Structure 1
């Protein structure tokens, strides 16, 4: 690695403090990343580099710092990034061990910066909260309350507080006035742990909604630790009731955003920002996805506002970049912008004649690098090939998705391991290797990696349309008979998700969150403030 350019902790810290644009990229798998990393790193594992990097780091002369555990990922990623056109790529001198040795803080878990910010907000704003026992007592007494779940709908549907309804974070200030029973209703906001309930509750408080508002302290984790029963499969959503926009809340949101240094821009001014090649400008549509699909601004990306705050590192990997938010109702954009501004981002809200601007339709499509020529095989051809030849089917889906449904006899692997595996005798002996995943987007890049290492006369194919097309063609996807060729480290198991976490893990997670304010003070690079 000595021949690759490097930046050290001191140099990177200076760039963070001066708000220069920089992307610090952890190339390890998410489970490994979650064990220890600097605050403002983005996890873009080498296994998913091709399908993520151009979207999360769109400007090719951005300063990028990459690191791994000394396992060769850096060298492979460096070569790929240069091939894709990136010109300012560096390696973190000494990796995370040197970062800590030289005085930098290391954080665990994922979305650590946002979770630390949530604790920062509660610490300085004294966000009102109720314990699980207190909320249960209110439910039992049939008090005049509504419980609003600030997570994604799928998380809410998996497990939620009894009587709760789904209102993802950015929707709260817009939707809550239409969801209360009357002017005396108390609003309780929950998530799975702490961050989204704190931010959601404080959003309603900051917007000066005329109702008592509380966070459910420690969310569904606190509920479980109190020995109380969660509901499963609930379907209630803000979409079940018509929303009436409250103009005074929009005014309050605008004022709040102004105090967080958020600026309002026109479409003409946005086009000027986009034309500036010296800066990164992210454009995020923070409405509900159905609204985005029906009509959105060209070149904007859909990210629900609450999730953008929660997972800003998953979407905007360039610290110091500009973020522009789009919402035809404005209130979701201004509330989301107020939080991003307090997290020390440079944020703008677009105000425009949205009827003439939101003309693009359909789901967001990621930008990916150009591919070399790959042989395609249809589902029918693959089915026939299975009967005739000694072949291997490799699936590079996330392991959790692979377990839910894969082609019979398909083995799962991390894409990063494909080069190592294809050189083993048992795979060299196969007449053909077929790569697949959900729609074969990632599989195509896995095939590109594998191609130079094939045995003589060995064929390589990518399944056209992936597992989705296989199922659509009438073939079976199976859930059992898991064949794992890689360590199952592609995803970190959050202690607050799912229904099978130990109470010890839940409590340890809460204890970690409680300590984040002190860790932020030691870190000193965050620039967080509250208004």
Structure 2
């Protein structure tokens, strides 16, 4: 069935979620029935078969549009559920009329129940012969499996299957062990037996599909949904769906729990053409996410259906900034005028709304660091005189515009403008930036703080932000199994690490608005911000509410809350046995001996700054390609910043190589690049060893050493940002609702 033939009505609003709930209920019933130990005979398994029959009767949950087959793929297995340890696994097997399989066993118990069509199962008893390479098969019974019936197979049963009666078929297959763990199954040359051979697990297990039109509808149906693009981020930024978040396949074990915390969230995965999405879906299902679909045809199918594709990173937030300027006419100042006024000594203060780390990397020579969420909170300390002109800048456009409009909407008495095109325009004008500057943020005095609170409260009220008390927060937390909940502390890194609420993540407010898709992967989720001072959480919440797509709340912690110290913990969800590690000194010796190939897999930019001498850089997606050309005896060592990502990728790579029969040794560097540098071992820098270009991340024009290339990149980027308004209009309403000025009641809609 082609993409154009996928019916919209059958891929609907939340059939996937309804199916996931029904499957959950079946699995819970099966586990209960088998809790005492199933035995593996027909009688012991029959109650489970009855439950599977009942699930199969819900044919509406398993429409053909979600489980497509066609002449190119006449038979297909779709994964519906699978335990992380390879235990229970549920599949839907779909096939065109006449699909047949020769005699084979399973080495585990199996139950097959009908959904649609008639699957004829012929069962055999296997008998040994005098020839150890040949066995006889003796037919024992024939079972036709259609809707309302099932067949139970023990681990030793041999059977054939065939879709009969001229009908296509869809059948549920429930196994005591996942197909990919069944490594010793055998298939016979014929129905009377004879020679037999082992055959491996299927290589192309797929997952339920969702058509582009159905996804388009689902993104605006008001229900929760997570759209994740599983390509490497640098590939993602070249062309993707607007509301997709970047969640690379090989980094899912580190990302998914933060992006999509609720395990039964409706998730749709995409890539360019389905080449990676089914691998990612398999990971997520095994990790416990139970409601996963794949966009039919990927972004190519999306574009073919007539829908818009976007380039760039953090596009919803950057488009938001452009909409703000377009709708609210945020005033700006050019770099030439700013330069003239600074040189003249005018009463002017320039504040840089990026992160302190970005500010230290480069800044206007006369600017002050004041990250976005801190603007209303601390601006009085920088511009106590109402006559002072406040200029807000960033590296490009978005945070300049959002920052300036933040102060304007808050009603500070000063004139406020954004710096048109930020530091990019400053450099394009032939001027220079300062590097390495940093300064502590000034603490607001009592009078300025009180004014800031009043202003922040007013904007948040107009944006529809709701405050919740401890009881309200407890209710949201109790409902986190039904509605996705994100809790963020938006203060500075230093404040967060000095003491934060248990389980609350750190997301500096300006970045949470600038890069919302990096923190929140679920549309229509609930977001709660901790309000420690009555300003920063409200300021951030007001912008998130206007950005749309979520319910936004603010919570004031108790006067003496229990606090957790230190940085935000990151959870790694392993799928495979821990990969072996190699110590830095051992790796140094192996490099000297030429017995290892070292691949840095973290980020290209970090690699170019400093890396293990002799390492090359590659995105995990392409490691198998580069490893294939190495001498068979050469060990492979993976390196990441602290060794965590390298360990996860090494474990996955080992499993893949073993599946392909490769015995190559793969290790992760213990402690990563940080441990290597701390040991004083040789490092390299520069891009000579980069094997995969910009595939890992958006490559900033600022990184170009060649000035012509840098300036061309700046102009291209600025033109792209400005063009987002028109592109957003083609995309349609994505929920942006801007607050009107304080004197008006109506919202400025987009």
Q: Same fold (TM over 0.5)?
A: yes
Deviations 1:352-383 (A, max 9, x none): 325314x0010012122125132222223333
Match of 1:194 in 2: 397
Preserved contact between residue 301 and residue 364 of structure 1 (Cα < 8 Å): yes
Match of 1:64 in 2: 267
Preserved contact between residue 433 and residue 461 of structure 1 (Cα < 8 Å): yes
Q: How does 1:501-512 map to 2 (within 5 A)?
A: 501-512=709-720
Question: Higher relative contact order by CA 8 Å / sep ≥ 6: 1 or 2?
Answer: 1
Match of 1:243 in 2: 444
Q: How does 1:372-391 map to 2 (within 5 A)?
A: 372-387=577-592, 390-391=595-596
The Cα of 1:61 is off from its aligned counterpart by 1.0
Q: CA–CA distance in 1 between the matches of 2:214 and 2:242?
A: 15
Q: 1:354 to 1:460 in 2, by over 3 A?
A: farther
Larger mean CA deviation between 243-252 and 472-481 belongs to 472-481
Q: CA–CA distance in 1 between the matches of 2:268 and 2:559?
A: 38
Match of 2:643 in 1: 440
Q: Does 1:403 align with 2:605?
A: no
Match of 1:316 in 2: 520
Q: How does 1:175-324 map to 2 (within 5 A)?
A: 175-180=378-383, 182-225=385-428, 227-233=429-435, 235-237=437-439, 239-244=440-445, 245-276=448-479, 277-324=481-528
Preserved contact between residue 209 and residue 293 of structure 2 (Cα < 8 Å): yes
How many pairs does the alignment contain? 526
Deviations 1:156-204 (A, max 9, x none): 2333223111111111111110012634211110111111011100111
Match of 1:463 in 2: 669
Preserved contact between residue 144 and residue 181 of structure 1 (Cα < 8 Å): no
The Cα of 1:33 is off from its aligned counterpart by 1.6
Normalised to the residue count of structure 2, the TM-score between the two structures is 0.67
Match of 1:33 in 2: 236
Secondary structure of the structure 1 residue equivalent to 2:666? strand
Structure 2, unmatched stretches of 5+, are 1-66, 69-205, 740-750
The Cα of 1:387 is off from its aligned counterpart by 4.7
Deviations 1:8-32 (A, max 9, x none): 2322222222221111111222232
Match of 2:146 in 1: none
Secondary structure of the structure 2 residue equivalent to 1:356? coil
Structure with a larger share of its residues in strand: 2
Preserved contact between residue 359 and residue 438 of structure 2 (Cα < 8 Å): no
The Cα of 1:348 is off from its aligned counterpart by 0.5
User: Please, which of 723, 728, 737 is the counterpart of residue 520 of structure 1?
Assistant: 728
Match of 2:653 in 1: 450
Task: Tell me the C-alpha RMSD between the 2 structures.
Answer: 2.2
Larger mean CA deviation between 148-157 and 307-316 belongs to 148-157
Deviations 1:244-293 (A, max 9, x none): 24213212211211221211112332232122101111111110000000
Q: 1:318 to 1:169 in 2, by over 3 A?
A: same
Preserved contact between residue 148 and residue 165 of structure 1 (Cα < 8 Å): yes
Q: CA–CA distance in 2 between the matches of 1:474 and 1:506?
A: 37
The Cα of 1:131 is off from its aligned counterpart by 1.2
Q: How does 1:21-100 map to 2 (within 5 A)?
A: 21-70=224-273, 72-100=275-303
Preserved contact between residue 394 and residue 413 of structure 1 (Cα < 8 Å): yes
Preserved contact between residue 193 and residue 496 of structure 1 (Cα < 8 Å): no
Preserved contact between residue 489 and residue 500 of structure 2 (Cα < 8 Å): yes
Deviations 1:123-167 (A, max 9, x none): 221111111111111101100111000112232233322311111
Normalised to the residue count of structure 1, the TM-score between the two structures is 0.93
> Based on CA coordinates, which of the two structures has the bigger radius of gyration?
2
The Cα of 1:487 is off from its aligned counterpart by 4.1
Preserved contact between residue 392 and residue 427 of structure 1 (Cα < 8 Å): no
Match of 1:343 in 2: 547
Q: 1:215 to 1:443 in 2, by over 3 A?
A: same
Match of 1:104 in 2: 307
Structure 1, unmatched stretches of 5+, are none
The Cα of 1:98 is off from its aligned counterpart by 2.5
Q: Does 1:472 align with 2:673?
A: no
Preserved contact between residue 232 and residue 621 of structure 2 (Cα < 8 Å): no
Q: Does 1:484 align with 2:687?
A: no
Q: CA–CA distance in 1 between the matches of 2:737 and 2:258?
A: 28
